[in-house]
Amino acid sequence: MIEQQAPQLLWQHFAKMSEIPRASKKEEAIRAFYRDYATSKGLEFKEDAIGNIVIKKPATKGYENSPKIILQGHVDMVCQKRDASNHNFDTDPIALQIKGEWLHATDTTLGADNGIGVAASIAILEDETAEHGPLEILLTVDEEQGMGGVHNIQPNWLEGEYLLNLDSEKEGVCTVGCAGGTDLVLAKELHYDNEARGIFYEVAVEGLKGGHSGIDIHKELGNASQLLAETLANYAHSSALRLATFHGGTLRNAIPRSAKAVVAIHEAHKAEFEAHLVAAGTALKARLKNADDHVVVSFKLVDAQPTQDAESSQQCLNLLLLAPCGVIRKSVELPIVETSCNLGVVTVDEKTGLRIELLARSVTNGGLDIIRTRTKALAIMVGAFVEEGNAYPAWQPNLESVPFKKLLEAYQETTGEEMVVSVIHAGLETGLLGEKYPHLQMVSFGPTIKGAHSPDERAHIPSVARFYDLLKLLLRKLK
């Protein structure tokens, strides 16, 4: 059992979190749990209108005059599961399993992002060996679906001077900056013909790894939606093909692992179309070798259903194929991705029309403008429209931050090595918190977590223990 691993307090709290459904925008149960927890421990707490919670703990002896410190993490998790899984994220606990030095979930995301950071913060409240100044444990909601919690946090609600964000995912790396981002939705009404003509196929691209649309975007992983659009568009450019439905991805911040479409072709082209799909599958396996080796293109005959005409179908597929996706620009100043875009969720059907959900990220405002411009240009070409929302700013590095300097000292002291200083291509809540509380001095760090936002998510158990010890030492140093 994971609760028997060190540090036991942290793992006990993480195991408890894993029993409570906590999908983004569905955090009622986990919020109630922490309200009850604070009351049972006699700790002061408060909750704002959107559901962010702050639990306060006085300073330990000798630290009464130390700066006030905020430990911050988000309680929601990305909910992804393998195609064969029957897991219900609204009701079922996450099934934990230990494999060697790693903690996994059974066929779902683990929720270590950011459950480990939250569990560490709560463990500090109970740890009799922890020494620290006055604490605020800030538990935010809706981070994974657009940072709704920190978007709505009010000025003057927090009292801390230093903020330790515990939402980083690589041991030995100190994060001092992150990309900003924005959601873009490209939508278009479609016209369907109820006359069934030809033969109908369901075509799927499956078996991909998926992953975090920020920190994994440079790994040349396959995007199932774009690969399926490419496969079908390639055929539609020379032979008539009518599109009925297209569905890919489940979250705008996760790289799609699978996508399916229903299309109609002329019956006389049956052998040609099937040969095209077989060849496409072979080509994708060769292209994605050592990156996404298990990609599969599958197809089967299905019943007839309403479709668009061939011209509109080709327009939809071309739009999906040309939408901004992947790394757009690398930084020339730092070894990081500067600007990217994820083709996250795609829906094409008679009821919804065309809907493409994109998540653009950049460490510069100009980078986000590039994605906005390209997306709007595509929309104009096909008579679609674009909506934008959930924008959040980049977190600009402050190398004079006291928590940053003390973290480097603490890491050097415990390991004898220098900590890596990083700006990550992912969104952290620090950007918005820094905008609302410009006086805050912030730093972010955490244990090693791999495969976040995918069913391959796993946490390295020994690194979690070292992360917790480092957190305790840092709190002692912030006197």
Residues classed as catalytic: 76, 143
Q: Which CATH number fits the domain that encloses residue 377? A: 3.30.70.360
Q: Which CATH number fits the domain that encloses residue 9? A: 3.40.630.10
Q: How far apart are CA 318 and CA 232, in angstroms?
A: 9
pLDDT at 429: 95
pLDDT digits over 298-346, tens only?
A: 999 999 999 999 999 999 999 999 999 999 999 887 788 999 999 999 9
Instruction: Kindly state whether residues 146 and 34 are assigned to the same domain.
Output: yes
Q: How far apart are CA 318 and CA 234, in angstroms?
A: 9
Instruction: Kindly state whether residues 387 and 400 are assigned to the same domain.
Output: no
Question: Average pLDDT, stretch 140-160?
Answer: 94
pLDDT at 320: 96
Beta bridge mates, 12: none
Main-chain dihedrals φ then ψ at residue 175, nearest 5 degrees = -95, 125
Contact indicator for 215, 169 with CB cutoff of 8 Å: yes
Q: How far apart are CA 269 and CA 294, in angstroms?
A: 28
> Residue with structure tokens 């994974």?
144
Q: How far apart are CA 468 and CA 354, in angstroms?
A: 46
SS3 state of residue 413? helix
Amino acid identity, position 85: S
Does 386 have pLDDT greater than 80? yes
Instruction: Kindly state whether residues 357 and 221 are assigned to the same domain.
Output: yes
Backbone CA torsion sign across 435, 443, 15, 33:
negative
Nearest to 337 by CA among 474, 177, 456: 177
In sequence order, the 6+-apart residues with CB closer than 8 A to the CB of 263 are: 200, 201, 203, 232, 241, 242, 243, 244, 307, 313
Instruction: Kindly state whether residues 119 and 168 are assigned to the same domain.
Output: yes
Helices 461-477 & 8-18, crossing angle to 10 degrees? 120
Instruction: Kindly state whether residues 372 and 400 are assigned to the same domain.
Output: no
Question: Average pLDDT, stretch 434-445?
Answer: 96
Instruction: Kindly state whether residues 11 and 33 are assigned to the same domain.
Output: yes
pTM: 0.82
Q: How many domains does the chain have?
A: 2
In sequence order, the 6+-apart residues with CB closer than 8 A to the CB of 1 are: 15
Backbone CA torsion sign across 149, 155, 157, 159:
positive
Instruction: Kindly state whether residues 379 and 287 are assigned to the same domain.
Output: yes
Does 462 have pLDDT greater than 90? yes
Q: How confident is the model at residue 365 (pLDDT cuts 50, 70, 90)?
A: confident
Backbone CA torsion sign across 127, 130, 131, 135:
negative
Q: Which element (helix H / strand E) includes 315?
A: helix 310-322
Nearest to 180 by CA among 439, 441, 432: 432
* Angle at the Cα of 8 from the Cα atoms of 412 and 417, rounded to 5 degrees: 10
Question: Average pLDDT, stretch 262-290?
Answer: 97
pLDDT at 196: 75
Beta bridge mates, 313: none
Q: How far apart are CA 152 and CA 48, in angstroms?
A: 9
Q: How confident is the model at residue 349 (pLDDT cuts 50, 70, 90)?
A: very high
Instruction: Kindly state whether residues 148 and 192 are assigned to the same domain.
Output: no
Instruction: Kindly state whether residues 370 and 435 are assigned to the same domain.
Output: no
Domain boundary among 368, 392, 416: 392
pLDDT digits over 153-198, tens only?
A: 999 999 999 999 999 999 999 999 999 999 999 999 999 988 878 9
pLDDT at 406: 98
Instruction: Kindly state whether residues 166 and 221 are assigned to the same domain.
Output: no
Nearest to 317 by CA among 358, 262, 273: 262
Sheet with 173-178: list strands edge to edge.
45-47, 53-57, 135-140, 69-74, 162-165, 441-444, 173-178, 420-424
Structural domain span for residue 322: 182-392
Question: Average pLDDT, stretch 212-238?
Answer: 96
Look up residue 118 and give its two tokens: 């939250």
Residue 159 DSSP symbol: -
Look up residue 406 and give its two tokens: 């003390």
Instruction: Kindly state whether residues 365 and 272 are assigned to the same domain.
Output: yes
Does 426 have pLDDT greater than 90? no
Domain boundary among 373, 392, 411: 392
Main-chain dihedrals φ then ψ at residue 78, nearest 5 degrees = -75, 135
Give CA 277 to chain center in angstroms. Answer: 31
Domain boundary among 392, 421, 442: 392
Backbone CA torsion sign across 454, 110, 116, 390:
positive
Instruction: Kindly state whether residues 165 and 186 are assigned to the same domain.
Output: no
